[in-house]
A = this chain, B = another copy of it.
Amino acid sequence: MLPVSVTPEAGGSAGLVDALFTAGSAVSVTGLIVVDTATYWSGFGHVVILALIELGGLGLMTFASLLGLLLVHRLGLRSRMATSASLGTPTTGDLRELVVGIAKVALTVQAATAVVLAARFALTYDYPPGQALWHGVFHAGSAFNNAGFALYSDNVMGFVADPWVCLPLAVAVILGGVGFPVFIELRRHVRVPRLWSMNTRIVLAGTAVLLVGGTVTITALEWDNPGTLGPLDVPAKLLAGFFAATVARTAGFNSVDTAEMNTQTWFAQDVLMFIGAGPAGTAGGIKITTAAVLLAIVLTEIRGEGAVNVFGKRLSRSVHRQAITVLTLSVAVVMGSTWALLITTQFTLDQLVFEVISAFATVGLSTGITHLLPDGGQLLLVVVMFAGRVGPVTLATALALRSRKRLYELPKERPLIG
């Protein structure tokens, strides 16, 4: 994790802030960059970046899954994440099962993605075999870990109309984003949806809704934009729109130029980025589940029902307040950081909101201002990336695990709302 080990060879000396920013961006799998990944860092630097991505992505996946396992044991929750869920502390056997499981999933998805990409690079783009394989491995790792780093100066804009590159990347991104618990459940009960947990149902339904809604919105808004989808034929427009919706949810690759998009498209991407994907995966954001809990509360209130029910199960009441807390603190971090950058830079609100949400949700898309920010602003973004990476999951788990003192209750009262 030492930024100094990212050795620059081309493009001048690596400033400390540049190295720190790149290492922080890689290990938090954000993908924001202040220097051109392709030309500024050496081949060895690229290996270090991929290692940091795997460390950060798989590390966080393991950490979050472990926290989830702890919750399952401690709270005695119904879940099929672990075969041996029982009250008490997870055993070393559970932990071993978890790490092996994650390793298997990561290796399988990344290897399959790398093979498809490498074949395409070698056969269609005439890369030499070694380079084709390395580019396949790097981009598969960057995709599954939702990092969004690419070995091209224009990220993956060169492949905007190539489904053999964009679709494997999108599949790896989506699979990394659904989270390990969903993966395990699907492997065991893929044909028996009635056995799926609430977590899996919410993540899968939410992923579908966000992908379809995001694709339609972005494609429609950018259809005629000469800087983005305008010059493409219809199949390529649809592919690029789908890809943009997929990566906005947390991966951060870009096959069209984000800076050229309409400000209303940025706004739609802000929403996708802030929500992110599933818990205990490689995605950032407040997570689909947190957003779904809030939506379920609102729908329940509007329908006038007593209990918040989701997919035929009652939503545990303790989760309500935890979801509100994660949302409120996330909004506070985003608003506070945006405000700090508004005061210290000359960029516009839409650019800064986009940049901060991208960092907080470890997405890595940018309207092109990252490298123009002052050092202080770049360091703030590194802090936001880490806060966004480990904050929500750690906070939510800590809240859920904490023992509650309830020695006595005060008399009840209510203020007027609204």
- Chain A: residues with CB nearer than 8 A to chain B? 64, 68, 71, 75, 77-78, 179, 181, 197-199, 202-203, 221, 262-264, 267-268, 271, 279-280, 286-287, 289-290, 292-295, 297-298, 300-302, 304-310, 312-316, 318-326, 328-329, 335, 338-339, 342-343, 348-350, 353, 391-397, 399-400, 402-406, 409-418
For this complex, 27 residue pairs linking A to B, each with C-beta atoms less than 8 Å apart, are A71-B416, A78-B411, A199-B415, A264-B342, A271-B335, A280-B416, A289-B415, A290-B417, A292-B415, A294-B324, A297-B321, A297-B324, A297-B325, A298-B328, A301-B322, A304-B399, A306-B406, A307-B410, A309-B410, A313-B411, A315-B414, A320-B320, A348-B349, A349-B350, A349-B353, A391-B418, A396-B418
**What's the Cα separation between A385 and B64 when bound, in Å?**
44
Which 10 residue pairs are nearest across A and B when measured between Cβ atoms?
A392-B418, A396-B418, A306-B406, A279-B416, A349-B350, A306-B404, A316-B414, A396-B417, A199-B415, A289-B415
Copies in the complex: 2
**In the complex, A338 Cα to B271 Cα: how many Å?**
13
Candidate in A179, A290, A295, A415 with the most chain B CB atoms within 10 angstroms: A415
Chain B residues closer than 8 Å to A412, beta-carbon distance: 313-316
**Nearest chain B CB to A101 CB, angstrom units:** 16
- The residue from B75, B289, B413 contacting A198, defined by CB atoms under 8 A apart: B413
Find out whether the CB atom of B77 lies under 8 angstroms from the CB atom of A293. Answer: no
B326 x A418 contact (CB < 8 A): yes
